[in-house]
Amino acid sequence: MFQTLYSYFWWERLWLPANLTWADLEDRDGRVYAKASDLYITLPLAFLFLVVRHLFETYVATPLAGLLNVKEKVRLKATPNAVLEKFYAATTKHPKQADVEMLSKKSGCTVRQVERWFRRRRNQDRPSLLKKFREASWRFTFYLIAFIAGMAVIVDKPWFYDLREVWKGYPIQSMLPSQYWYYMIELSFYWSLLFSIASDVKRKDFKEQIIHHVATIILISFSWFANYVRAGTLIMALHDSSDYLLEVVSRGGGMPVLPVTGAAFPGRIMHCTMVYPLDLYPAFFGYYFFNFMMVVLQLLHIFWAYLIIRMAQKFITGKVVEDERSDREETDNSEEEEEVSKNGPLSNGHPVLNNNHRKTD
């Protein structure tokens, strides 16, 4: 059974144009070709990335945050309340009005105090500004270095200037050492992002992030298997060219920069992968699959471009300086702040005095 699935998965008609076999891509005469087994190294490298990331965030990003005066916002903590905590953990973090009224009766708090408690409790679970800064700093650093390295890999290649050169001689295109390491490092990094996504800051586009990481891993892997290496290096460099700028925007609070990816991706790269190959061979499964994954990424680009444009509009009107994808912290109103400042924290809905005696309403 396994052998049958394995044989079908690597069926040449799925991956290669007609009249070509895997034997055509075997190393010979000093020419080296991409092989699926090359990608095994990306998993241990991904875990190495996680170690390097931890060291970077601890010894580089954290001191940098101090130098840039990145301060934590003092949050009002929700007073321990067993009834509300049980509902928060087991049922929902966003109770409906009927739930609030029910909890008010059970906990002895007023409806307003229950609403405040849930606001504060949700804020406690939100990631700190320092955590966001450290994560963004790590991604910014990688994307910037990867972009510079990627440009060094492709800037002297003819297909960087003439996209028809991407398919010249395909698939009999030998691999360069620089292309090998560019692929291995990029794929390892995206594996590390996927491994750490559960513990990273969760944004509103969490599901889209997962789709993006999975689609990117599949696209990079497939382009390696099918020897779409020239096209793959162009795509990765293009993404890195805007990703590091987006990290600055998302944490810097500055004017959003609409990524060049959104325009260049459909305008040139997708035209290169969809149109030019058909001049050389009839469409086959690998052609359709590769371009399908490209379309998935483009749809994500459109989604994120919409968020960035909306953010830019609000920025221009002075309404927002935050990333639209961020889960914003909820704030208590001035009346609540006044109550806390006068009467102290709440315990089961009642203000607590300094001598730990309740002040009844």
**In this predicted model, what pLDDT tens digit does every residue of 194-247 receive, in sequence order?**
999 988 888 777 888 899 899 999 999 999 989 999 999 999 998 888 888 777
| Contact by Cβ (8 Å): 220, 190 | yes
211 conformational bin, left if phi > 0, alpha if psi -120 to 50, beta if neither: alpha
**What was the pLDDT predicted at 178?**
95
Distance CA 134, CA 188 (A): 20
Please tell me the least confidently modeled range out of 47-61, 128-142, 240-254: 240-254
Residue with the two structure tokens 């490209």: 294
**Lowest mean pLDDT: which of 141-155, 232-246, 275-289, 330-344?**
330-344
Give dist(CA 91, CA 83) in Å, integer: 12
CA–CA separation, 349 and 100 (whole Å): 13
How far apart CA 162 and CA 142 sit, in angstroms, is: 28
Per-residue model confidence as pLDDT tens digits over 68-104? 888 777 777 888 888 888 888 888 888 888 888 888 8
The 3-state DSSP class for residue 352 equals strand
Domain tally, the chain? 2
Tokens read off for 70: 């990145």
Residues 122, 44 within the same domain? no
Say if residues 251 and 136 touch (Cβ distance below 8 Å): yes
Residue 253 is assigned to a structural domain of this protein = yes
pLDDT band, very low/low/confident/very high, at 64 (cuts 50, 70, 90): very high
Considering the domain architecture, whether residues 168 and 96 belong to the same structural domain is answered as no
Listed residue (127, 93, 92, 91) closest to 199, CA to CA: 127
Place of tokens 């992030």: 209
Question: pLDDT band at 12, cuts 50/70/90?
Answer: confident
**Last residue of some domain: 84, 109, 127?**
127
The pLDDT assigned to 234 comes to: 93
pTM: 0.77
Sign of CA dihedral 72, 73, 74, 78: negative
Q: Are residues 236 and 94 in the same domain?
A: no
Helix (H), strand (E) at residue 347: strand 346-347
pLDDT per residue as tens digits for the range 139-192: 999 999 999 999 999 999 999 999 999 999 888 899 999 999 999 999 999 999
Question: Could you tell me if 163 and 119 lie in one domain?
Answer: no
- Under 8 Å between Cβ of 182 and 149: yes
Percent of the chain with pLDDT over 70: 83
How far is 281 from 170, CA to CA, in rounded Å?
A: 10
**Do 140 and 170 share a domain, yes or no?**
yes
Is the pLDDT higher at 338 or at 172? 172
Range(s) of the domain holding residue 293: 39-67+132-316
**Alpha-carbon separation of residue 320 from 72, 289, 309, 316 (angstroms):** 19, 40, 12, 8
Structure tokens given for 290:
């590769």
